[in-house]
Chain A
């Protein structure tokens, strides 16, 4: 029975009763919180966490002496303006791509290695033309001695969902996210079984397959003895001499050849469905329109888009701007988002 003195207005009229109920609300809320102190403390912490954690603000400051297990290798300056002129759109595309990867790396505490891929004299024809990827990976592994996984990204890629970490996207369920057998998806029609393959071997190379074979625009490679062997044997003068005229995609074709012939290499390689780290825009792989395994799917919020081959016949700047704006609009959150 409430004391009459509790009321600010004597509860004669209905208005004053309603108003008194509202004035007493803070008291009631306070009483509720006091009664369930532990529960409300937990709820408060959870609320703060959900509001803060996914807004991009770092919860814990990154200590300067800890280095990440993951390094993103971003290949920029392809060609270096030697064979064709680098105009304002090319520069804009490069800026956008670099900013996107930098923001992603900062957000998740990864390291970003921006590597210059300009044409060097030592890669002139008949001498390792276009095998720079292998040398760059080797060099980056030396520069980041503590990192374990290296994610190679071509310039014409965009990370559409920066809130997803690599652990969440790939590594937490590595065995489930990757497949080793070519039975289901074999666009190159490589031999499905070759002798001396060990399927329990540690996965050291994660490669997506697109409509035309392995795609080295976005792939992951682990530091290991196996990787040292791969990076050494990848380019060989005998292989190059016999096949470089047929191998349009250079190190990609070399890798496909070695994969189909050498059992030790197959043991350490796993494939990842393309849309997990290397979705294509509509223009790439245009013969396979509508193939759900290849193209970027906005509803399912695919992770990374690789605008492969946009420099031949398509508009790199237009595509990059389109995906940048799309990503920004997808990341905008409504106020009820934490409670979704």
Chain B
């Protein structure tokens, strides 16, 4: 395209002040939005860009290649820095955010040094230690008097296990399962592994008792029928009276913190429940579906058999745990019962 530049002086008939001059100047001023000179300049700019490579002179070429080299260098440097930063981030970001590795299962034990003799307690700890070492589990032992001021009524010993479990969970953030076993119980078969025996999904699914009344014999609220076992976070058993809180398993997480804190609420402790924390748990399970929906009720013999019991809950040889609940009465003797069972226990098979 070639524009010819009309010169004003060529048109002699236009004089300042005449109407045709006004019209003409207006026309030339508002030629599109751009004046003619703009298009001319644009055209030469495009020409320059297109033909710069071929028509560049020698010093210009050197300048351009030097500049190109500089640009290339800057880009490479920038890319290298980005790669370095990414590698550093990938390598070191994980270190700050990874959880400390912990035992997969932690046994939780609370010792009542006020009411029991030291050597008896030592034997209990030895029993737990043998099991934990055989299965490579963690062991968390505390005196229940540590939690004396948290509990509302120190005369009711059943409540101590709740802050005990809570502090076990706080002190072992990397562990998955926490198994509370009462002090008055003995692990008879140390070869049984918690995962394969209880918590593994298929196994738990087969163990969980569905559609049984939460409070035997015939409470209205029953355990859920269709909740899958991988959602169960609270594993507990039931005897003929109700929930048996001497042995239960909690999975680490939001749910367990909620259940333990809600269960331990001051108003529940002050309320005159018939069986202290057992009744409180039954109350929670009946009134709050968020609690019951993640509870699995399994047969008592799995991890809380009674040696002196009747029916399904009776301890038999090869069972996992024998419970000595209620042994601190004048008729019975915890030490004697423990020693008898201790001698008959299963030995660790390597």
8 A-B pairs in the complex with CB atoms less than 8 angstroms apart: A5-B21, A8-B25, A9-B17, A196-B170, A233-B258, A242-B271, A261-B266, A262-B261
Measured in the bound complex, the distance between the Cα atoms of B280 and A239 in whole Å is 12
Whole-angstrom distance between the Cβ of A209 and the nearest chain B Cβ: 22
Q: Which of B25, B166, B290, B291 contacts A5 (CB 8 A)?
A: B25
Given contacts A8-B22, A27-B29, A232-B289, contact A243 B267 (CB under 8 A): yes
Interface residues of B in 1-51 (CB under 8 A from A): 8, 14, 16-17, 21-22, 25, 29, 33-34, 38
A228-B290, A261-B261 known; 17 other A-B pairs, CB under 8 Å? A3-B8, A5-B21, A10-B16, A10-B17, A30-B33, A34-B34, A196-B163, A226-B254, A226-B258, A237-B287, A242-B270, A242-B271, A258-B265, A261-B267, A262-B264, A264-B258, A264-B262
User: Chain A: which residue is nearest B261 at the CB level?
Assistant: A262
Q: How large is the interface on B (under 10, 10 to 19, 20 to 34, 35 or more residues)?
A: 35 or more
Whether A195 and B163, one on each chain, are in contact in the complex, defined by CB atoms closer than 8 angstroms, is yes
Contact A225 B266 (CB under 8 A): no
Of A10, A239, A264, the contact of B267 (CB 8 Å cutoff): A239
CB of A7 within 8 Å of the partner chain: yes
Q: Is A257 among interface residues, defined by CB-CB distance under 8 A?
A: yes
> Nearest chain-A residue to B14 (Cβ)?
A5
A interface residue count range (under 10 / 10 to 19 / 20 to 34 / 35 or more): 20 to 34
Nearest 3 CB-CB pairs, A to B?
A262-B261, A232-B290, A264-B257
B268 adjacent to chain A (CB < 8 Å): yes
Does the CB pair B290–A229 fall under 8 Å?
A: yes
A residues within 8 A CB of B271? 238, 242
**Is B150 part of the contact surface with A, judged by Cβ < 8 Å?**
yes
State in angstroms the CA–CA spacing of A262 and B38 once bound together.
Answer: 77
Chain B's nearest CB lies how many Å from the CB of A175?
18
Whole-angstrom CA separation of A233 from B268 in the bound complex: 13
List the A residue with the shortest CB-CB distance to B289. Answer: A232
Q: Who on chain B is nearest to A236 by CB?
A: B287
Bound Cα distance A34, B29 (Å): 14
Which residue of chain B lies nearest to A6 when distances are taken between CB atoms in the complex?
A: B25
Contact at A196–B290, with CB atoms within 8 Å?
no
In the complex, whether A265 has a CB less than 8 A from a CB of chain B is yes
* B270 contacts A264, C-beta separation under 8 Å: no
Contact with B along A286-304 (1 / 0, CB 8 A): 0000000000000000000
A residues less than 8 Å from B270 (CB atoms): 242
B167 at the interface (CB under 8 A from A): yes
- Given the known interface contacts A228-B290, A238-B268, the answer about A263 and B22 at a Cβ–Cβ threshold of 8 Å is no
What CA separation (Å) do A229 and B289 show in the bound complex? 9
Complex partner residue of B257 from A3, A236, A261, A263, CB under 8 angstroms? A263
CB closest chain-B residue, reference A265: B261
* Complex interface residues of chain B between 271 and 320 (CB less than 8 A to chain A): 271, 283, 287-291
**Interface hub of A27, A225, A261 (most chain B Cβ within 10 A):** A261
A4 within 8 A of partner (CB): yes
Return B271 CB to nearest CB of chain A, in Å.
5
Is B255 an interface residue, CB under 8 A from the partner? yes
By beta carbon, the residue of chain B nearest A235 is: B287
Determine whether the beta carbon of A5 is less than 8 Å from that of B265: no
List A contacts of B166 (CB < 8 A).
195-196, 263
Residue pair A264, B254 in contact (C-beta under 8 Å): yes
* A233 vs B288: C-alpha distance when bound (angstroms): 7
Q: Do B254 and A225 have beta carbons less than 8 Å apart?
A: yes
Name which of B38, B166, B264, B290 has the most chain A CB atoms within 10 A of its CB: B290
Specify which chain B residues have a CB less than 8 angstroms from the CB of A242 in the assembled complex: 267, 270-271
- Kindly list chain B residues whose C-beta atoms are within 8 Å of the C-beta of A225: 254-255
Q: How far is the CB of B30 from chain A (nearest CB, A)?
A: 9
Interface positions, chain B 131-161, Cβ under 8 Å from A, are 150
A242 to B25, CA, bound (A): 95
* Cα(A30)–Cα(B16), bound, Å: 23
For A232, list chain B residues within 8 Å (CB): 288-291
Query: Within A269-294, which residues are at the interface with B (CB < 8 Å)?
Result: none
- Pairwise interchain contact B38-A34, C-beta atoms closer than 8 A: yes
Nearest CB on A from B257, distance (A) = 4
B:246-269 near A, CB below 8 Å? 254-255, 257-258, 260-262, 264-268
Instruction: State the CA gap A242–B271 with chains docked (Å).
Output: 8
